[in-house]
Each structure stands twice: as structure tokens, then as C-alpha cells.
Amino acid sequence: MGRLNVDLCGIELDNPVIPSSGTFGYGHEFAKIYDINCLGTFSFKGTTKEERFGNPTPRVAESPSGCVNAVGLQNPGVDKVINEELPKLKECFHKPVIANVSGFSLDEYVYVCERLDKEDQVGWLEVNISCPNVHGGGMSFGTDPKAAALVTKAVKGVTTKPVIMKLSPNVTDITEIAKACEDSGADGVSLINTIMAMRIDIKSRRPVLGNVTGGLSGKAVFPVALRMVYQTAKAVKIPVVGLGGVSSAEDVIEMMMAGASAVQVGAANLIDPFVCKNIIEDLPELMDRLGIKNIKDIIGAAL
């Protein structure tokens, strides 16, 4: 076992660095520029039951130290993911992958999770109840503890693999949602997703995004994400995956000290496609400077 190894819901990772859903496609796109097997794992693009075109354009607006996006869960649907994307992924990635699942109803979450749970390469199911960019789904399940519990319990009833519930920061108290998921059988939680935001074009006097509002991501949200990871790690006993504005090895260490068992990197992949590879390569030297022998020893050090 190496000094970067961590355990995520009973599955060992070579390191804690995980590209987050929606920023890494289905993996094979990035495999064209470097060997993605250096990653701990990655979370593939959010998948729904049916194919989705997504939101109207423009879908992305720049913002100081971040960006606002409203892609709207564009994806080919679970059948094509299973029949086309996963076979291509298997050729270039030889580790378990995180399947990110989105839905607009309880039945849809159950259907997609049950289908993906049967796939050999899927190691975890990351159930997104936090997307702020679609109407009538996603975040509507993640802002109410009872609804979050209902989705968790339903998905756990049809799956055999670890279920990680992806939580929304757009709530009064994220620990209430996390505890509701834990009490309903979740094996872990990941947080945060993007923060609701918008931009206005002052020349046209209209919202920049076709969807009007979107989700803010990037370095701007890191302190908020860190605070919520810290609070959640204190409130639950299940593993916490930290994400939100992570873009360096220092950020990974900070997230883990706040209580994260593993760390996802999102918007930074859109700026520098090599960022995860670079973080993994930078971690050992940073650990040496900080006197850290094994990275798992610092999980929750600040709690």
C-alpha cells in the first residue's frame, strides 16, 4: 500500500484525486492526452434514463475566479452509456469508475441506478440530488431531508454497490440533508455541487445564460465548500467526498484535513486538462514538506 492510498466506501484508491462529474466526460476523451489510470478514479458525466439535449445556449458565463454554467445534464441516456461509452472506457481505464446518476423522479433514479449497478466496471453510484440547472428535478430532491432520504432508501433497495449521495449547497443546513441520507443507508456523501448564480450582459440588459441562472463553480467557491465539508464530516460517520473549487495539491490536503476521505476536482479540468495528473504528482513533495507520512492520516485532522 502506497502513501497516497485511501479507502472510499470499502474500495481502495491509489490516491484520493477524482475528476468530478460533468468535467471529465466518460474518460476516453482525456485518455487521448494522458494515461488516466494515474487517477484514483473519476465520476463520469451525469446520466439520465433518456437522452437529454440539455439547456438552451449560452450555457457558460465567466465570473471572477470561477464560471457559471447551466449545461442541463446533456447526456446520451443510460442505454447508450452502457452499450457505447462503458466499452470505450474499459479499453483505456482499468479501475472501478464512479457512475453519476441524475433523475427527474424517484422511479428514474431507481431505474438508472439499477441498470448501472449491474455493470462490472462501476464501483460506486454517485446519486446527484443537487443539480441547480434543471427544472423539476435534481436539486428539488436535495433541499428537503425527507425527499433526500426517500431517494437514498429507494436506490439502496435496488443496488449492491456503494451509494454516494451528491449534496446541494443551496440549503440552510447541509448537515440535515447529509444525516437524512446516512440514516437511510447511504454509504457516503459528496459535496458541494455548484452554488446558484447568474450573470447579466449590461449591453443587452439580458441574462447571459440561456437558462437565466446556473451554478457557480471554480476557485471562488472553495472556502464555502471547505466549510460545508468540515460541518458534514463532524455530523456523519460515513465517508465524505469533498469538492468545490479544488485546483491544487494544497487544496486537496486542506479538504482532507476538513474531513474528506477523497477529493474531486471539477471546473479546474476545464481550464487545464492536466490538472488532476499534476496534483497527483505534486502531492508527495507537498506531504514531505508538511511532514505527512501517509495521506490517510490527515483525514479529519482539523476536526
| 161 assigned to some structural domain | yes
Q: What is the pLDDT of residue 176?
A: 98
| 43 assigned to some structural domain | yes
pLDDT by residue for the chain (303 residues), tens only, comes to 699 999 999 999 999 999 999 999 999 999 999 999 999 999 999 999 999 999 999 999 999 999 999 999 999 999 999 999 999 999 999 999 999 999 988 999 999 999 999 999 999 999 999 865 444 455 568 889 999 999 999 999 999 999 999 999 999 999 999 999 999 999 999 999 999 999 999 999 999 999 999 999 999 999 999 999 999 999 999 999 999 999 999 999 999 999 999 999 999 999 999 999 999 999 999 999 999 999 999 999 999
Q: How many domains does the chain have?
A: 1
Catalytic annotation present for 131: yes
Q: What is the pLDDT of residue 142?
A: 87
| 173 assigned to some structural domain | yes
| 66 assigned to some structural domain | no
- pTM (whole model) above 0.85: yes
| 192 assigned to some structural domain | yes
Give the whole-angstrom CA distance, residue 130 versus residue 218. Answer: 17
Q: Is 27 left (phi over 0), alpha (psi -120 to 50) or beta?
A: left
State which residues form the domain around 170: 6-56+71-200+217-298
| 207 assigned to some structural domain | no
Task: Give which of 78, 145, 148 is closest to 111, Cα–Cα.
Answer: 78
Q: What is the pLDDT of residue 141?
A: 84
Q: What is the pLDDT of residue 131?
A: 65
β-bridge pairing 6-8 and 206-207: unpaired
Q: How far is CA 155 from CA 11, 102, 132, 181, in A?
A: 19, 12, 21, 11
| 210 assigned to some structural domain | no
CATH number at residue 241: 3.20.20.70
Task: Give which of 213, 244, 203 is closest to 59, Cα–Cα.
Answer: 213
The distance from CA 87 to its chain's CA centroid, rounded to whole angstroms, is 22
| 270 assigned to some structural domain | yes
From the list 9, 67, 113, 131, the catalytic residue is 131
Give the whole-angstrom CA distance, residue 17 versus residue 113. Answer: 24
β-bridge pairing 214-217 and 97-101: unpaired
Residues β-bridged to residue 97: 122
The answer to whether 214 and 149 are in contact (CB under 8 A) is no
